[in-house]
Structure 1
Amino acid sequence: MKLRLALLVVVAQVAGVAFMAAQREWIARTGTTITLRTAPIDPHDPMRGEFVRFRYGINTVPARLFRGGLAAWPRLTDYRAQRRLRDTVVYASLRADEHGFAQVIALSDEQPSEGIFLRGRVGYVAESGGIQSVQVRYGVESLYLQQGAARAIEDLARGERRGVPIDTTVAVGGSGLGVLRAFAWEPLGLTVTPDRPPAPPQGQTRAARAPSPLAGITGVTVELKNFGNRDVAIVDLPDGQSFRLRADAEEDPEGYRWVGADRRPSAATVGDARLIVLKPGEAHRVHLNLADPAWWVEGGPGHEPATPLAEVRERWRARFRIEYAPPSPEQLRGRPHAELVRHVPLTSRLFTGGID
């Protein structure tokens, strides 16, 4: 009797695994296809085998997008109650942006009746006097590869293809189940090198001169490199206006903001732009003077007025990336080599306030 029961349990488990595998295969073949932008994080876990782990922009969902029962979460301040929210099943309604990448437009604990959506579970809860955002895992964050392949991707991401984003293709079923199908490297990569502060005088340690990672960062050198196998054109606007400072925690009420966040290049500025053709393997560098008032930041816990990054008081709240944002195709129409421009923005890793 016990043997028969044990066999039934094993058969049920095998049948369950087979059903899930068949379900995922069916979705991979017939599901609605979306594209997500990502970068590899941790390509190897000895407990789970070889795989590439991805992080997406849709993994972080701000409170302003909460719907249904989630709408009350921002007012929840009890830590124990916040912990109980973890693993809550949620549904992220998606819409493709102008570049074709899926973005979250709403997050709810109720399954949407229409549109494309991904089913996920709440992980980390970020709070500051109430829930500000949640981290959601959708089951499409890991792609299993043959032995050694995941490590090779990590080596490329850290070395030869450092700063190059990865785009993934995900199939989505009617219930919101997502299946990661494939990935591809973007042709352009972006890296940022902060200016090095001068060496301290003899007998004085660098720590004494530069107590925070921001001290001495008066500028950065941005490099755009073509890692593809075809020519790519990049747009170099005057005064570094092809680039922007992007706050990492845009929903943080005590975070810093770039004073130029609403700045847009004028038609005259775009007209003066240089279109530079990068052949495979070629790079172009631009230096940004962050001491210039155009690059100052404001806000933070002390509601500081506009100030250089190097002088902000709460350094861990000043979390910024550099974003390359070329003009639109309409703005460049008729310019030589305009057809070679990649109009998808590129964002660097954090260079202030922490690391990715």
Structure 2
Amino acid sequence: MVTGKKLVISAVVLALVQIGFLSWMIAGRAAILRNGTEVLLKVEPVDPRDLLRGDYVRLGYEISTLPAKLIADLPPGQTTTAGGRIIVRLKKDADGYWRPVSAFLATPASQPGPDEADIAGTISGGWSIEGDATLSPEYGIERFYLPEGEGRAVETDMRVRPFGVRVALAKDGTPQIKALMDGDKTLFEEPLY
């Protein structure tokens, strides 16, 4: 009988730990959406065979391909990346979209200036960074979930007119998608919870 009580207590403790961990993840995402620096990124169409899987859209951005020459803290003589975290400094352009102006493999030495923000991504190791080479960071915002049945229309529209994504950035650069934009019109907005 004592073994049965221990098993029940262990199961309850494990369930509470799991619930606490999930709540912590949700609260962290909501904090970024509520308090993060908001930027607008221009969406680029992705190969239509990979665009839809169920009810989400796969997104590419102007910041998804970066010239290696943007890396400001590259040690002299280094010709490949070790991989890991990359910080991309964005600056607001005249058209309202934010574009990359520099990138850092370590923590940037200076804070973003006016109309600038940092977004954090990851790159895989081994990329050549010589000459006109480019890097392809991933930011964790490459998918946007849509209401059921909306994907095909959005996929078609993305190919004929400009779309954007409003993104909230935490102080450390962690991004969260806030909304999918069709020009100036908000199509879909992410709820906080």
Q: 1:51 matched to which residue of 2?
A: 56
SS in 1 for 2:172: coil
Q: 1:132 matched to which residue of 2?
A: 133
Q: 2:189 matched to which residue of 1?
A: none
Q: 1:303 matched to which residue of 2?
A: none
Query: Which amino acid in 2 is paired with 1:106?
Result: S
2:176 equivalent to 1:179: yes
Query: Which amino acid in 2 is paired with 1:25?
Result: A
**Retained in 2: the 8 A contact 1:75–1:131?**
no
SS in 2 for 1:64: helix
Q: 1:25 matched to which residue of 2?
A: 30
**Retained in 2: the 8 A contact 1:93–1:105?**
yes
> Deviation of residue 111 (structure 1)?
2.8
Counterpart Cα distance in 1 of 2:88 and 2:77 = 16
SS in 2 for 1:137: coil
Counterpart Cα distance in 2 of 1:141 and 1:173 = 17
Q: 1:4 to 1:92 in 2, by over 3 A?
A: farther
**Retained in 2: the 8 A contact 1:63–1:74?**
no
After TM superposition, the score normalised by the length of structure 1 is 0.42
Query: Which amino acid in 2 is paired with 1:44?
Result: L
Q: How does 1:287-326 map to 2 (within 5 A)?
A: none
SS in 2 for 1:127: coil
> Deviation of residue 185 (structure 1)?
2.1
Q: 1:126 to 1:27 in 2, by over 3 A?
A: same
Q: 2:191 matched to which residue of 1?
A: none
Query: Which amino acid in 2 is paired with 1:12?
Result: V
Q: 1:14 matched to which residue of 2?
A: 19
Higher relative contact order (CA 8 A, sep 6+): 2
- Per-residue CA shift, 1:277-331, capped at 9, x if unaligned? xxxxxxxxxxxxxxxxxxxxxxxxxxxxxxxxxxxxxxxxxxxxxxxxxxxxxxx
Query: Which amino acid in 2 is paired with 1:65?
Result: L
Aligned residues: 172
> Deviation of residue 110 (structure 1)?
2.5
SS in 2 for 1:136: coil
Q: Equivalent of 1:164, from 151, 156, 161?
A: 161
**Retained in 2: the 8 A contact 1:94–1:118?**
yes
Q: Which has the larger radius of gyration?
A: 1
Query: Which amino acid in 2 is paired with 1:103?
Result: R
> Deviation of residue 141 (structure 1)?
1.9
2:79 equivalent to 1:75: yes
Q: 2:96 matched to which residue of 1?
A: 100
Structure 2, unmatched stretches of 5+, are: 1-5, 186-193
Q: 1:175 to 1:129 in 2, by over 3 A?
A: closer
Percent of residue pairs bearing the same amino acid type: 26
> Deviation of residue 67 (structure 1)?
3.0
Range with greater deviation from structure 2 (1-10 or 16-25):
1-10
Q: 1:91 matched to which residue of 2?
A: 87
**Retained in 2: the 8 A contact 1:122–1:134?**
yes
Q: 1:166 to 1:93 in 2, by over 3 A?
A: same
> Deviation of residue 155 (structure 1)?
3.6
SS in 2 for 1:175: coil
**Retained in 2: the 8 A contact 1:123–1:137?**
no
SS in 2 for 1:151: helix
Structure 1, unmatched stretches of 5+, are: 77-81, 188-227, 229-356
Counterpart Cα distance in 2 of 1:124 and 1:151 = 35
After TM superposition, the score normalised by the length of structure 2 is 0.73
SS in 2 for 1:139: coil
> Deviation of residue 57 (structure 1)?
0.9
Q: How does 1:198-277 map to 2 (within 5 A)?
A: none
Counterpart Cα distance in 1 of 2:147 and 2:136 = 29
**Retained in 2: the 8 A contact 1:39–1:54?**
yes
Query: Which amino acid in 2 is paired with 1:149?
Result: E
Counterpart Cα distance in 2 of 1:26 and 1:151 = 31
